[in-house]
A and B are shown apart, each in its own frame.
Chain A
Amino acid sequence: MNSPLLEIKQISVSFDGFLALNDLNLVMNEGDLRAVIGPNGAGKTTFLDVITGKVVPTKGDVMFKDKSLIGQKEYRIARKGIGRKFQSPRIFKNLSVQENLALSVSRPKTPFSLLINSLKVKQLDKIQHLMSIVNLQSKSNIKAGALSHGQKQWLEIAMLVGQDPDLLLVDEPVAGLTDEETDLTADLLKSLAGDHTILVIDHDMEFIRRLDCPVSVLHQGHILKEGSMSQIEKDPLVIEIYLGQSEEEV
């Protein structure tokens, strides 16, 4: 029996006494695709901050490939194989699509190597491949800042994949996208699962339904419920705190 890829053990994060995360446990095995949903302020983004080293938890431990990540610098965690996509697209807007991806596929990520080595054929092929996955080949020399919002989201996902991470953390990848783009993004993530382990955070129900994967509901800093989307949707507690609200709004 393989040990899990990511194991989050009783994490608590307190901001000046306010518990953003409270005794959170989560286990992800290799190849898993999992969605985490929750109302605003449930602690979704803080949860990613803890895994990627941006926030140090008050209590608990994060194990990745059987090693603790607590206290490690962000760039080290990234090199260990955890890639993160932010809520609003974060790409290097003054670099072209190709240059953005070149930075993500470069190895090793040291100043000397960047100065002396040029990109290998394999890496150039990889850049082309990544651009074809997200449909940006025709924009390869365009500055990333000039892309549309959806294309920026995709470029950022492509940059993540270019890092060759074992674990992808994807924060609200469809915020501000059209329905068509949302569907394409869902398909893209599904096609990446298997080779990669992916954790998606969102509150777009249509999108989560389309991902068709196990869902964890985050509420007030801990996991309220886990199960498939159809199970979650029927759970009275979940309906009360989350789905109920959104149905009222609709």
Chain B
Amino acid sequence: MSIISTKKNWINLTIWVVIIALIIATPTFLPVFRLNLLGRYLSLAIVALGVDLIWGFTGMLSLGQGIFFALGGYCAAMFLQLNSSEGFPNGIPEFFGLYGIEKLPFFWEPFKNSIFTLISIWLLPAIIAGLLGYLVFRNRIKGVYFSILTQAALLVFFNFFNGQQKLINGTNGLKTDVTELFGQMVGSEIMQRGFFWLTAILVIFAWLFSRWIVRDRFGDILIGIRDDEPRVRFTGYNPVVFKTIIFSIAGGLAGISGALYTVQSGIVSPQFMTVPFSIEMVIWVAVGGRGTLLGAILGAVFINYAKSLVSEALPASWMFIQGGLFIFVVTALPEGVLGWIRRGGLKELLYLIGINKKLKTYPSLEVNEQGEVKS
């Protein structure tokens, strides 16, 4: 027993060392353009983790994660714009001048503070998700109605942000790549490298955090809510509280993700709140493997990387490939690629093409053995 676990520990340690070495080394062998893309896709992995928590584990399909993603992005962008607007008229961001605004709108004020900004990037989306979630869950709205409601909320936010030129530059969005941070241009190579490392580290932390949440009985309750919510209630748990908490956490993760994505793509705009983008988040998780945290990360990174590679080669074809991929996964691998592998799908495939031989076992015997060890 102890030999197995020390061996497992060594494997784990090796994997972590390799991952960290890769993260440190990537900027040296990847051109800046590719590095920036990878950093963006890694930041999308964080929002995908949130989608996995609420949909993969708890069974609530939200089509409105773009709201929280964009909010995080706007928080970061507002701070950066304020941080570099000294040279502009009235000392406020340049775009205000276009609409004849001379005084900074009140809600911009606190974003002059870097600590406030760092907290609000995740706390603001988390609070809004919590409030929205509480109202929805308290009224026992679930299933398709929940999905439609979140999508409707997304559209409300999208239209509101689009229309507010005088407050947040409306449909043009807020640019960040020409703003300054620590005396450097945000869009500069050195800053982008820093953001890549920051993103990679935060992905790891977000994964560890999500794993901690689902690892034990809290995660079991989430799965219980997905499988049979009334049973959760009659066992003495209040599902509303659990759903609100997990929806709020997913909102917070989306905010962090949006902020990281914004600083690496150079702009935040209401485009972050379009319907297709929020649906794509669900597709990443579905393809990667819903209910597997690693699947969400890998799905987000690989699909997006494939998207940019395919779009470079065959500009018009990506949407077809993405649609086809989604249909293929839903029909053939309902648990996603990672879920399929974990269920022994690879062995099955090797067996089907005749490479591997199927093992004959008596599952019940194995089980009895386990039972004896356990009890």
User: Which A residues lie at the B interface, using CB under 8 A?
Assistant: 52, 54, 73-75, 78-79, 83-84, 86, 90-95, 99, 102-104, 106, 109-111, 114-115, 118-119, 128, 137-142, 159, 163
Which residues of B239-297 have CB atoms within 8 Å of chain A's CB atoms?
Answer: 239, 241-242, 245
A66 to chain B, nearest CB (A): 21
| B221, B236, B374: residue with the most chain A Cβ atoms closer than 10 Å | B236
User: Cβ of B228 and Cβ of A79 under 8 Å apart?
Assistant: no
Q: Please report whether the interface of chain B is mostly helix, strand, loop or mixed according to DSSP.
A: helix
**Complex Cα–Cα for A86 and B234 (A):** 10
Q: How many A-B residue pairs have CB under 8 A?
A: 96
- Sample (13) of A-B pairs whose CB atoms are under 8 Å apart: A75-B237, A92-B227, A94-B227, A95-B220, A102-B217, A103-B237, A110-B241, A111-B242, A114-B216, A114-B217, A115-B212, A138-B372, A163-B235
B77 to chain A, nearest CB (A): 33
User: Cβ of A92 and Cβ of B224 under 8 Å apart?
Assistant: yes
Set A79, A91, A115, A119: member contacting B236, Cβ < 8 A: A79
Residues of A within 8 A of B239 (CB): 75
The residue in chain B whose Cβ has the minimal distance to the Cβ of A136 is: B371
A46 to chain B, nearest CB (A): 15
Set A52, A79, A84, A141: member contacting B374, Cβ < 8 A: A141
User: Cβ of A78 and Cβ of B233 under 8 Å apart?
Assistant: yes
B361 to chain A, nearest CB (A): 15
User: Cβ of A95 and Cβ of B234 under 8 Å apart?
Assistant: no
Top 6 closest pairs, chain A to chain B, by CB: A138-B371, A78-B236, A74-B233, A114-B218, A114-B217, A92-B224
User: Cβ of B230 and Cβ of A90 under 8 Å apart?
Assistant: yes
**Complex Cα–Cα for A92 and B222 (A):** 11
User: Cβ of A90 and Cβ of B231 under 8 Å apart?
Assistant: yes
User: Cβ of A115 and Cβ of B216 under 8 Å apart?
Assistant: yes
What 13 additional pairs, Cβ within 8 angstroms, besides A75-B237, A78-B233, A114-B221? A75-B232, A75-B238, A86-B231, A92-B220, A92-B228, A93-B227, A103-B224, A109-B237, A115-B212, A119-B217, A137-B375, A140-B374, A159-B235
Determine if B4 is an interface residue (Cβ-Cβ < 8 Å).
Answer: no
B202 to chain A, nearest CB (A): 21
**Complex Cα–Cα for A47 and B216 (A):** 36
Residues of B within 8 A of A99 (CB): 217, 220
| B217, B241, B367: residue with the most chain A Cβ atoms closer than 10 Å | B217
With contact pairs A115-B218, A118-B216 given, residues A92 and B371 touching in the complex (Cβ less than 8 Å): no
**Complex Cα–Cα for A95 and B224 (A):** 8
**Complex Cα–Cα for A105 and B223 (A):** 17
User: Cβ of A92 and Cβ of B374 under 8 Å apart?
Assistant: no
Which residues of B337-375 have CB atoms within 8 Å of chain A's CB atoms?
Answer: 367-368, 370-372, 374-375
The residue in chain B whose Cβ has the minimal distance to the Cβ of A95 is: B220
Set B213, B218, B233, B234: member contacting A83, Cβ < 8 A: B234
Residues of B within 8 A of A115 (CB): 212-213, 216, 218
User: Cβ of B236 and Cβ of A163 under 8 Å apart?
Assistant: yes
The residue in chain A whose Cβ has the minimal distance to the Cβ of B225 is: A92
Residues of A within 8 A of B221 (CB): 103, 111, 114
**Complex Cα–Cα for A159 and B232 (A):** 11
B204 to chain A, nearest CB (A): 20
Residues of A within 8 A of B233 (CB): 73-75, 78
Residues of A within 8 A of B367 (CB): 138-139, 141-142
A77 to chain B, nearest CB (A): 8
User: Cβ of A84 and Cβ of B234 under 8 Å apart?
Assistant: yes
Binary flags per residue of B29-42, CB closer than 8 Å to A gives 1, else 0: 00000000000000
Residues of A within 8 A of B232 (CB): 75
User: Cβ of B241 and Cβ of A52 under 8 Å apart?
Assistant: no
